[in-house]
Amino acid sequence: MRPQREPVVTQRAVRVACIPDGRPADLPAGTPAQITQALGGSFTLWVEGQLMRLRGADADAIGKPVPVADLAPTALTDSGPEGMRSLVWQTLRTCYDPEITVDIVELGLVYVCDVLPMEDGRFRVSIQMTLTAPGCGMGESMADEVCDKVLALPQVGEATVDIVFDPPWDRSMMSEAALLTLGL
């Protein structure tokens, strides 16, 4: 069964990223589209046979409210590195591949998540992640989203996200829940 698509029309000009190559495109006001996915604070649109990613901050362009963060923690119960690591992993579960309705953790795209204390009491977070396909043009966009969400966490002073391809990703890295969700 194909997911229900919601028809929308752009109410103002807006810049989007084409999927899967990531090239920017401008949609003029009045462009008909269909929402195919609204997860992790962004929207995947189907426009004239092309998938496009619309940032959540631009939701008003399709008549939607700006999505509220899926995870808005205000305090840590464990303020040490382990508590922060747990919070970062929760945050990573709010990031989605724009073509797949499964978060990047369940897809097995996150290889490393290091959380180290800094001298000022904040934390430095270093993430290594991969993509489902090495040629995916959405990699930079996904890495930027991960970095932005991690930097928004309390007590995070620095965050880096590196896209790596060793080891190469394959379906065996997906969780059982992801396999079931995707019918594999």
- Reported as a single tens digit per residue, the pLDDT across 164-183 is 999 999 999 999 998 998 88
Q: Is 161 in contact with 88 (CB distance < 8 Å)?
A: no
- pLDDT by residue, tens only, the chain of 184 residues: 455 789 999 999 999 999 888 889 999 999 999 999 888 888 999 999 999 999 888 999 999 998 765 444 544 556 788 999 999 999 999 999 888 889 999 999 999 999 999 999 999 999 999 999 888 888 888 998 899 899 989 899 999 999 999 999 999 999 999 899 888 8
What gap in Å lies between CA 149 and CA 38, rounded to an integer? 17
Q: Which domains does the chain have, with CATH numbers?
A: 6-62 (2.30.30.40), 81-181 (3.30.300.130)
What gap in Å lies between CA 117 and CA 15, rounded to an integer? 37
Cα–Cα distances (Å) from 104 to 9, 49, 89, 153, in that order, read: 29, 25, 10, 18
Name the packing angle between helices 139-151 and 81-92 (round to 10°). 140
What gap in Å lies between CA 98 and CA 137, rounded to an integer? 11
